[in-house]
Chains A and B, each alone.
Chain A
Amino acid sequence: MEKLIEERMREVISAVFNIPVNEIRTDASSDNIESWDSLKHMNMVSALEEEFLIEFDDKEIFELLNYELIKTIVLEKIEN
């Protein structure tokens, strides 16, 4: 289940930032993905919400800072 969600999450990141799935590292963040600016960040938030049928609150939007945090927060929201 967790693996499947992670795969779908990678697809979203790949599509939003326009990078191949196999190039997304587990330390991916705005520090190492050049196209990760504030606009793309909001695009990623919408795409994740659409993909997993969840809604992030204002605080969570600013907490989606890197791959591990996106995974943790998405899993947390799906489980709840």
Chain B
Amino acid sequence: MKKFESIKTGEKAQLTHTIRQSDIDQYVELTGDDNKIHVDQQYTSKTAFKKPVVHGMLSASFISTLIGTKLPGDGALWYQQSIKFLMPVRVGDKITVFAKVINKIKRTKTIQLSTEIYNQNNQKVITGTASVKLIEEVQPSAIQKAVKVKNNIALVIGGTGGIGKATCFQLARDGFDVAIHYYKNIESANRLKKNIEKLGNNATVVNADIKEIDQVDRMIQRVLRKLGSISVLVNCATTPIPNIKIADLEWRNMQEQYDVNIKGAFNIIKFVVPIMEENGYGKIINLITQYIEDPKPELAHYITAKSALSGFTKALATELAPKGIQVNLISPGMTDTQLLADIPEKVRLLTAAQAPLRRLASPDDIARVISFLSSEKSDYLTGETIRVNGGQVMI
């Protein structure tokens, strides 16, 4: 939370959000406001609006997000707001909320903000003024301050997948507080959170489509508010890997893999690296695949994207090492997870039989190596690839 003294008149903050149909559905479920003008396509087609209009207070609620998370942030008591709805907002609109400090009242530690929302066409849709009181934390003692920046807070991307879940558990057993990222499987994420909390660790669940930088920004802010920092980032994000012959491969198949493996990693690192730089400490672990060194047919899209991630990781490792941030890779062989559901039994049996260790990797096998790379035991490793494949590829 910002201190009252550090806030300057004229200081600004902003956030962006694309309104989705699911936002409307959740708002209706929460508030019960199912006014046809917001939800009934047929009804609105007969009105001057032609299409449903997003609830005004739904759009305005992002003013609350901006005040509560950015300006001034945690502890903000938003006690007054004037508001004027200038234009309708529709599903699919990308709204940007701006707040600017226009006045400070020292006696009451209160700030006044102009609050404006624009759509993607740069049209002002909402305008108003907010009054916010800053509730400051009681200052911790010097000792408490010293332990504030901890090296045991992990963010696991793809935390509900096979390897991701095992990693969250392993890191919790190692003493980490864990932020569990999920994309679609909220139930699994919440169950995992409860189980980690039973171990006595803090855990939080965060959601984002990692391809969307705005969503990643919000996710990281949430992790910071809930857990305070990020010292370890484990990227287990993945997307289905269909076998596709080169003749049938389309650019969208390549793009799909690039989006999750490279754009996703890029978006996350953009926000996590500055946190680690500030702490002078951080460990980033990306997952690639054995198929980079032992390629299989019909997987060009997957292998190409993972190879790009390998290059990206090594470039980061070189640049970030002097800042105390280590970046490493794990290259698993075929691992017994849900991703194997579509792979024929014979292929699985054959892979296991041909592996010198005579079995497929389990998610725990991978998680234990992630645990090593997350710990101080790996402090002199960076830009390294650890192969966890039962001896299938030896270089």
A interface, CB within 8 angstroms of B: 29, 31, 63, 65-66, 68-69, 72-73, 76
Q: Is A31 touching B350 in the complex (CB atoms < 8 A)?
A: no
- Give me 10 A-to-B residue pairs in the complex whose CB atoms sit less than 8 angstroms apart, sorted by A's number: A29-B353, A29-B358, A31-B358, A66-B349, A69-B346, A69-B353, A72-B345, A72-B346, A72-B349, A73-B346
List A contacts of B239 (CB < 8 A): none
**A31-B358, A68-B349, A69-B349 given; 17 more Cβ-contact pairs under 8 Å:** A29-B353, A29-B358, A63-B346, A63-B350, A65-B350, A65-B353, A65-B354, A66-B349, A66-B353, A69-B346, A69-B350, A69-B353, A72-B345, A72-B346, A72-B349, A73-B346, A76-B346
| Interfacial chain B residues near A69, Cβ < 8 Å | 346, 349-350, 353
Complex: A72 Cα to B350 Cα, angstroms: 10
Contacts of A63 in B (CB 8 A): 346, 350
| Residues on the A chain within 8 Å of B354, using CB | 65
Shortest beta-carbon distance from A66 to chain B in Å: 5
**B contact residues vs A (CB 8 Å cutoff):** 345-346, 349-350, 353-354, 358
* Set of chain A residues within 8 Å of B346, measured between Cβ atoms: 63, 69, 72-73, 76
A63–B346 Cα distance when bound, in Å, is: 9
Give the distance in Å from the alpha carbon of A1 to the alpha carbon of B117 in the complex: 69
Docked CA distance A76–B346 (Å): 9
Closest chain B residue to A29, Cβ basis: B353
Q: For the complex, give the distance between the alpha carbons of A66 and B353 in Å.
A: 7
Determine the chain B residues whose CB is within 8 A of the CB of A73 once the complex forms: 346
Chain B residues lying within 8 Å of A65, measured Cβ to Cβ, are 350, 353-354
Chain B residues with Cβ below 8 Å from A66 are 349, 353
Complex CA distance for A29 and B358, rounded to whole angstroms: 10
How many Å from the CB of A26 to the closest CB on chain B?
A: 11
In angstroms, Cα B245 to Cα A8, docked, is 38
C-alpha gap A69/B346 in the complex (Å) = 7
CA A31 to CA B359, docked complex, whole Å: 13
Smallest Cβ distance from B364 to chain A, in angstroms?
20
How far, in Å, is A2 (CB) from chain B's closest CB?
13
For A29, list chain B residues within 8 Å (CB): 353, 358
Q: Which residues of A contact B358 (CB under 8 A)?
A: 29, 31
What's the nearest-Cβ distance from chain B to residue A73, in Å? 7
Please report the C-alpha to C-alpha distance between residue A65 and residue B355 in the assembled complex, in whole angstroms.
Answer: 11
* Least CB distance, A51 to chain B, in whole angstroms: 20
Q: How far is the CA of A68 from the CA of B275 in the complex (A)?
A: 50
Which residues from chain B contact A31 at a C-beta distance below 8 Å? Answer: 358
Q: Which residue of B lies closest to A72 (CB)?
A: B346
In the bound complex, residues from chain A placing their C-beta under 8 Å from that of B349 are 66, 68-69, 72
- Bound together, the chains give a CA A12 to CA B354 distance in angstroms of 23
Most chain B C-beta atoms within 10 Å of own C-beta, residue among A31, A69, A76? A69
**Residues of B contacting A68 in the complex (Cβ-Cβ under 8 angstroms):** 349
A65 to B350, CA, bound (A): 8
Closest residue of chain B to A73, judged by CB? B346
| A31 to B353 CA separation, bound complex (whole angstroms) | 10
**Alpha-carbon distance A31/B357, docked complex (angstroms):** 11
Q: Chain B residue with minimal CB distance to A69?
A: B349
